Amino acid sequence: MCLCYTKISLHVFWVFDKRRSSMDFLATIINEFRQMLTDWPLGTIMAILLIIVAVFAVGVIVYLTYYAYDSWFLDRLEGQGKVVGKEFTSAHTTYSMLYNANSKTQTMIPIYHSDEWVVFVEINGRDASLSVGEKFFDEVLEGTQVKVGYVKGRLSGNPYIRDLELA
């Protein structure tokens, strides 16, 4: 009888201890953060950098969530638009440095960007843009009326162009 009581009481304490440990974990993180802030100069600088990175990460998540909610899974609309601008970006290569921790060296990695043709269209008084192919880019001129397939943002009301055709 005593053995069963011990098993039950250990189980109850284990569950209680598990809940307590999650709160202890949060308290430990907060306590470590306080200590970092008071440990001048290295700890304070690291804590500030950690705060900046966390705020930036939250901002990116909020922006991506806003963009997804504003433009995904909406009914497609058809309308007329007017080409208000065109932009061509020629193919180019950029370079990014990649650090190898094992050899403590940096390697330059080339990143190739192909040609890009962008057409800017005004739809109901609002501007939007779309990357198009070279043939369509050459056919369309500024001021040309085009048939536009787009969605209208839930929150912003901005058009998000899905396709373009000559009218």
Q: Kindly state the average pLDDT of the residues 147-154.
A: 96
Give the residue with greater pLDDT, 74 vs 102: 74
Q: How confident is the model at residue 133 (pLDDT cuts 50, 70, 90)?
A: very high
Q: How confident is the model at residue 20 (pLDDT cuts 50, 70, 90)?
A: low
14 pLDDT higher than 90: no
Q: Kindly state the average pLDDT of the residues 77-92.
A: 96
Q: How many CB atoms lie within 10 A of CB 37?
A: 14
CB 92 within 8 A of CB 80: no
Which pLDDT does position 6 carry in this prediction? 46
Query: pLDDT digits over 38-74, tens only?
Result: 888 888 898 899 899 999 999 999 999 999 999 999 9
Hey, what amino acid is at 20? R
Q: How far apart are CA 143 and CA 165, in angstroms?
A: 14
Question: Interior CA angle at 91 toward 151 and 88, to 5°?
Answer: 50
CB 80 within 8 A of CB 148: yes
Which pLDDT does position 2 carry in this prediction? 46
Give the residue with greater pLDDT, 2 vs 152: 152
